Chain A
Amino acid sequence: MTTMIQVENVAKTFTLHNQGGTRLPVFDDVNFTVEAGEALVLAGASGAGKSSLLRILYGNYRPTSGAIRITHAGRPVDIVSAVPRTVLDIRRRTLGFVSQFLRVIPRVSALDIVRDPLLARGASQGEASDRAKAMLTRLNLPERLWNLAPATFSGGEQQRVNIARSFVDPSPIMLIDEPTASLDAANRDVVVELISEARTAGSAIVGIFHDEAVRERVATRYLDITSFRKAA
């Protein structure tokens, strides 16, 4: 098995300088690994720090201490201490983040949003379009919406565009935060299938799923992060 993520002694405390220097300890001494082909589901009550941990793995939140080694182009790279352009390269080629919200960019069509990661990885225009269309079809996004900018789409439609963008070319590591929050049952099933397909193809998955049925279908292993909770 190939270790894709190795978390070592990670701690996180937020310090709110403009609110009297309040310190919000989230967790400390977090240690775990994730292998290729497994789906690790983060468990723990709301507010336990699941989303914070996921953002730390992505290099978005900066931990107070510790290291996170991401296997990138065959070698472990600590995303915490890496320079910005290395972090961006890791995200472009190795590490995907699927959130519940689409960051809408003015004037960019749904199809272009989904094509974008393929083009960034060097696919031809034609191949990118074909694969993007196939993914939007699979997620039941009506064809009449493809060439429109998603600013006016419903929450569920935007979410499906975001999922299509994330799964059109699954990364070796996929970090997933509540992907099915506002989807109907049929589309929820598609998302579960997409995650399972990515995992079977070798991606390492780390996710947060509030829907218990989804969680049980996706998970190969659970990690209860309450155990890392720092005594306040």
Chain B
Amino acid sequence: MTVHASFPDAALEPAPLLTVSGVSRFYGERIGCADVSFDLWPGEVLGIVGESGSGKSTLLRCLAGIDKPDAGEVLFRAGPEPLDIYSVSEQERRRLMRTAWGIVHQNPRDGLRMDVTAGGNVGERLMDRGDRHYGKIRERALDWLQRVEIAGSRIDDRPRQFSGGMQQRLQIARVLVSEPRLVFMDEPTGGLDVSVQARLLDLLRVLVRDLGLAAIIVTHDLAVARLLTDRLMVMKDGHVVEQGLTDQVLDDPHHAYTQLLTSAVLSV
């Protein structure tokens, strides 16, 4: 058994993967997000919901190492010792971002290299990780394209020749190929047709479960949250107003704002 063996029984996991305490980010006088604290355990999927401007994307950027919070800390456990992601060097943080976690952007153009082939986009992450065998990299890239339902024959095409839904699936393959332990997703189905969304959601649901990924998903779509997440945090004006199990928050909302959100949709 290796040090990094996964724990099949949730009750046996020794520590959270991510410990967030008191994270705040201000833009001048304006609050981006304020005093957010939570633990995320291996295999857990957390949803952050709220309307535009509620601070959910700001929070995600702070958690994902993109935007340093003005206060608070984000501890990530890649090994036995927790790591404060903003106290390590820029270089170390970038290495973590490439290997231990992944970010799926709302706009695939922000996560893909548009001038590199589909196979190259996926293979690049493996090379970042230290893989050097060209044949094996191509083989794994091909395998991942198929897992996200992109025909292998498209491996040498560039993303700009793909539809929006395909670009998003390619971005997901690029993120997941390096086997991250934690994935951040910002409105992963935003801007896609409903039928394309359904296919992507199903794919994400299966991948998250099969790989035992921990994930943090920002969405304004409560049906997406219902389908993909275990836990939910509801944000308003930069503050977390309610959190709990996803079905608790959606079926028995306690805060006025959550009640407003859940009553504003037809059926989730």
Contacts and interface: CB of A to CB of B under 8 A. Distances in A.
A105 interface: yes
Interface string B246-265: 01100110111001100100
B256 A84 contact: no
B201 interface: yes
B252 A84 contact: no
Given A60-B251, A61-B252, A105-B202, A18 B41 contact: no
B10 A60 contact: no
Given A60-B252, A62-B248, A106 B259 contact: no
Looking at B201, B259, B263, the one whose CB has the most chain A CB atoms below 10 A away is: B259
Contact of A84 (B198, B202, B244, B251): B244
B8 to A, nearest CB: 8
A85 B201 contact: no
Nearest to B256: A17
Nearest to B252: A61
Contacts of B252: 14, 55, 60-62
A166 B96 CA distance: 41
A61 B251 CA distance: 7
A87 B247 CA distance: 11
A55 B263 CA distance: 19
A127 interface: no
B161 to A, nearest CB: 26
A59 B248 contact: yes
B10 A84 contact: no
Interface in B83-140: none
Nearest to B39: A83
A18 B263 contact: yes
A16 B256 CA distance: 8
User: How many interface residues does chain A have, given as a range?
Assistant: 20 to 34
Interface size class of B (residues with CB under 8 A): 20 to 34
Interface string B215-235: 000000000000100110000
B201 A106 contact: yes
Contact of A60 (B41, B247, B254, B263): B247
A144 interface: no
A108 interface: yes
B233 to A, nearest CB: 11
A17 B44 CA distance: 30
B10 to A, nearest CB: 5
A84 B256 CA distance: 22
A106 B202 contact: yes
Contact of B248 (A14, A60, A89): A60
A107 B202 contact: yes
A45 to B, nearest CB: 22
Interface string A50-67: 000001000111100000
14 contacts: A14-B252, A17-B256, A18-B259, A60-B248, A60-B251, A84-B44, A84-B230, A85-B41, A88-B230, A89-B10, A89-B11, A106-B199, A106-B202, A107-B202
Interface of B: 10-11, 41, 44, 198-199, 201-202, 205, 227, 230-231, 244-245, 247-248, 251-252, 254-256, 259-260, 263
Q: What are the 3 A-B residue pairs with the smallest beta carbon separation, nearest first? A: A17-B256, A106-B198, A61-B252
